Amino acid sequence: MTRIGLLGGSFNPAHGGHRAISLFAIRALELDELWWLVSPGNPLKDPESMAPLEVRLASARTQARGTRIRPTAIETELDTRYTVDTLAALKSRYPSHKFIWLMGADNLLQFHHWRAWREIARRVPIAVIARPGYNRAAHAAPAMGWLRRFVRPVADLRNWTNWRPPALVLLRFVPDPRSATRIRQADPHWHRRALSRVDLSRRTHSS
């Protein structure tokens, strides 16, 4: 049985915060691999401000170097955009893998807007990772009105593969204030430089 964590995201761009929380999660959940699902397009986000998928994926590969993190654009391959569909496709493609969905506390605040969010929680256990500025609000998130009864103690964490979903665990690692919004604010043209690096490496590989 392979233990896989799933961290879906825009990764616009990937940053050290993603890497840090992922490394903590790999250890805490004893994961064989943590897959970063670099989204072709978050259904709730404006595509205008989104760098091309290949540039975001390249930033994810850079951040994941030398770890058990596996950046993927598997939602493109599966032709899914909604997490509920991605999970169904992954579970049927990898029937012997055990999956756990990871998300930062900011995503829990929006979770009730996701398509079939209760169904997502019925499909896989969920680990919510504390994030500076969002934790108090996350405890009061609309989705928590329903999810609260399924919260598991951290003491039982290693046993997550035996949890029968819905099951939710709240994880606190060293708080990491990094965010893609801040990076874009400081460097609005990050993707242009990144795109030229992607093009360059493609040319180098094909030459």
Ligand X SMILES: Nc1ncnc2c1ncn2[C@@H]1O[C@H](COP(=O)(O)OP(=O)(O)OP(=O)(O)O)[C@@H](O)[C@H]1O
Triad 120, 115, 31: Cα angle to 5°: 30
Cα–Cα distances in angstroms (integers) from residue 196 to residues 14, 27, 128, in the given order: 17, 35, 35
Question: Sheet harboring 126-129: ordered strands across?
Answer: 69-72, 33-38, 2-9, 97-104, 126-129, 168-171
Size of the site for ligand NCN (CB under 6 A): 15
Q: Which of 3, 4, 9, 71 binds ligand NCN (CB under 6 A)?
A: 9
Q: Which of 34, 58, 106, 168 binds ligand X (CB under 6 A)?
A: 106
Q: Which of 115, 158, 182, 193 binds ligand NCN (CB under 6 A)?
A: 115
Q: Which two tokens stand for residue 124?
A: 């896989």
Q: Which of 3, 11, 86, 170 binds ligand X (CB under 6 A)?
A: 11
- Residue with nearest beta carbon to ligand NCN: 8
Interface with ligand NCN, residue 80, by CB under 6 A: no
Q: Which two tokens stand for residue 155?
A: 């003491």
Interface with ligand X, residue 37, by CB under 6 A: no
Q: Which residues are paired to 102 by β-bridges?
A: 7, 127
Q: Which does 115 bind (CB under 5 to 8 A by kind): ligand NCN, ligand X, none?
A: ligand NCN
Q: Which two tokens stand for residue 152?
A: 């598991």
Interface with ligand NCN, residue 83, by CB under 6 A: yes
What residues make contact with ligand NCN under the rule CB under 6 A?
8-10, 37, 39, 42-45, 82-84, 107, 114-115
